[in-house]
Amino acid sequence: MQESLDRLMYTFVVEDVLKGFFVYVPPGYVACVYDLGRGVLKKCLLPGLHLKVPFWQRAKLFNTQTLEYRLVKDFNPKNVRALGDVPVSAISADGKPVNIEGTILLKLDVTQIPNIWQNIGEDFVDKIVRPTVRSRLRMIASRFTYADMVGNQRDAIEENVKQEFERIFYPRGILVENVLLSEVGKARGGHEE
């Protein structure tokens, strides 16, 4: 009995106290720290090993690598935290229903991550990215004909989409690296969402 109690105390000390002093930040990530007395700290912890105050500070890792937001048929919309969505249904300028598939390359601005965590939260994809992508793709698709979308206007459409996303995402700390439309096809029976 005493041996199992000693083992339990040892596990508590190692797991909760000693590990509570350190934050390991792997390459491609930063850690944002929430302090019970000061709130979300303005400076992120860069890759490496850092000290923190156990029980008083909590660290949250954020990915600073290029993130792929994919619009694909096999996306599971029930997973709201996933990075992506089903193809976006829209109506072209000539009144044809279309489905838009592609990839949007995003990156979090390291200097804005504390602001993102403080004001938007960890679920910024569900709150900001997904609704913006759906709305803006529909808006821009309505400016072009179906022939433009599948023809030689594709570069112009991608550039329009990128500029519109930058206008909305940049003030929120999300950088748009590129917009790549992979397929624009006629939708069956109109909107599917």
pLDDT (tens digit, 9 = 90+) per residue, 100-123? 999 999 999 999 999 999 999 888
Please compute the mean of the pLDDT values over residues 131-157 and round it to a whole number: 91
Same domain (yes/no): 35, 78: no
- Looking at the fold, whether 12 and 42 belong to one and the same domain comes out as yes
| Predicted pLDDT of residue 5 | 52
CA distance 156 to 139: 14
Helix (H, G, I), strand (E, B) or coil at 11: helix
Q: Is residue 191 part of a domain?
A: no
Give the C-alpha separation, 2 to 7, whole Å. Answer: 9
Cβ atoms 185, 96 nearer than 8 A: no
97: domain CATH number is 3.30.479.30
Is residue 78 a part of any domain in this protein?
Answer: yes
Q: Where are the alpha helices (DSSP H) in 56-172?
A: 113-119, 124, 130-141, 146-150, 154-169
Domain boundary pick from 22, 44, 63 = 63
192 vs 31, more confident: 31
User: Which residue range forms the structural domain that includes residue 155?
Assistant: 67-186
State pLDDT tens for residues 123-140.
888 899 999 999 999 999
Is 182 found in the same domain as 110?
A: yes
Same structural domain, 23 and 53: yes
Q: Under 8 Å CB-to-CB from 163, ≥6 apart: which residues?
A: none
C-alpha R_g of the chain: 22
Q: Are residues 87 and 38 in the same domain?
A: no
- For residue 123, give the amino acid letter: D
75-85: average pLDDT: 80
Structural domain contains residue 193: no
Residues above pLDDT 70, as percent of the chain: 86
Which pLDDT score, from 0 to 100, does residue 190 have? Answer: 45
Look at 189 and 141; give whichever has higher pLDDT: 141
This prediction's pTM: 0.80
Q: Are residues 108 and 171 in the same domain?
A: yes
Are both 139 and 162 inside the same structural domain? yes
Is residue 167 located within the same domain as residue 88?
A: yes
